[in-house]
Amino acid sequence: MADYTVIADMSAALLRVLRTNLCPEPIQSSEAIALASPSDKNGDFQLGVFLYDIRELNEYRVSAPVRGADNTRTYPDKPLTLHYMLFVNSRAQMATGAETEQRIFGRAVQAMMDNPSIDLSSAQPYAQPSEEAAAVSLLNLSYEEKNRIWSGLNLPYQMGLYLSISPVMISSRHSERFIRVVEAQFEAQQIRAGDARGRGRS
């Protein structure tokens, strides 16, 4: 099971992947890659990781409750897809130039190719080792879809890299006990043939 912190834990795991693969080249310091919003104009970072959407993954949705060994049942895990945008801080962009920005995005694409999934057990301390790893996928959004994201932030369009992580399973804390039927007793009564005919005439 994965507790409510799994979303933040997945973001931290993605951040570790980027820092491991993009530092010290083309980004010198790991602290220059941070979880941030494009609207954070005063942030002291070079590459920002922005979680801009969370959606339920209907393909993995299960409605039946999960039964435990201790006569309890809980609601099934909720499967989610996390949508991220990688962007270069506008302050850093002006200082480093377009060529450095393109190198950062190119190395980020390589990092996603070389790390196509994130192991939930390494990202979430409550997860079981047998749980499915979350796939990291680059999103092929249209210009209009990207522009709507930036418009929603009241910011002019800027180059970015868009990706998703799924399935991210978040568990329920609701549980209830139930009584398991382990033995059933039946009583059968034999009716003699004469008694049966007598009952039929009455």
% of the chain residues with pLDDT over 70: 72
In this predicted model, which residue has the larger pLDDT, 118 or 199? 118
Q: Give domain status of residue 193, yes or no.
A: yes
Average pLDDT, the chain: 83
Q: Determine which helix (DSSP H) or strand (DSSP E) holds 20, and give its type and residue range.
A: helix 6-22
Whole-Å CA distances, 33 to 16, 43, 92, 106: 9, 11, 11, 15
Tell me what the mean pLDDT of segment 81-93 comes to: 89
pLDDT at 181 over 70: no
pLDDT at 92 over 60: yes
**Of 88, 134, 140, 139, nearest in space to 115 by CA:** 134
Range of the domain at 105: 6-201
pLDDT at 29 over 60: yes
Tell me what the mean pLDDT of segment 124-151 comes to: 86
In this predicted model, which residue has the larger pLDDT, 27 or 90? 27
**What are the tens digits of pLDDT across the range 114-129?**
999 998 777 766 666 6
CA distance 140 to 186: 63
CA distance 116 to 77: 23
Domain count, the chain: 1
Q: Give domain status of residue 150, yes or no.
A: yes
DSSP 32: G
* CB atoms inside a 10 Å sphere around CB 195: 10
**Of 49, 74, 76, nearest in space to 62 by CA:** 76
In this prediction, residue 54 carries a pLDDT of 97
Q: Give domain status of residue 1, yes or no.
A: no
Q: Give domain status of residue 87, yes or no.
A: yes
In this prediction, residue 93 carries a pLDDT of 67
Q: Report CA torsion sign: 14, 15, 17, 18.
A: positive
**pTM of the predicted model as reported, rounded to 2 decimal places:** 0.79
The CA angle 93-152-141, to the nearest 5 degrees, is: 75
Please, which pLDDT band fits residue 22 given cuts at 50, 70 and 90? Answer: very high
* Of 32-46, 156-170, 184-198, minimum mean pLDDT range: 184-198
In this prediction, residue 171 carries a pLDDT of 83
**Of 170, 166, 179, 194, nearest in space to 84 by CA:** 166
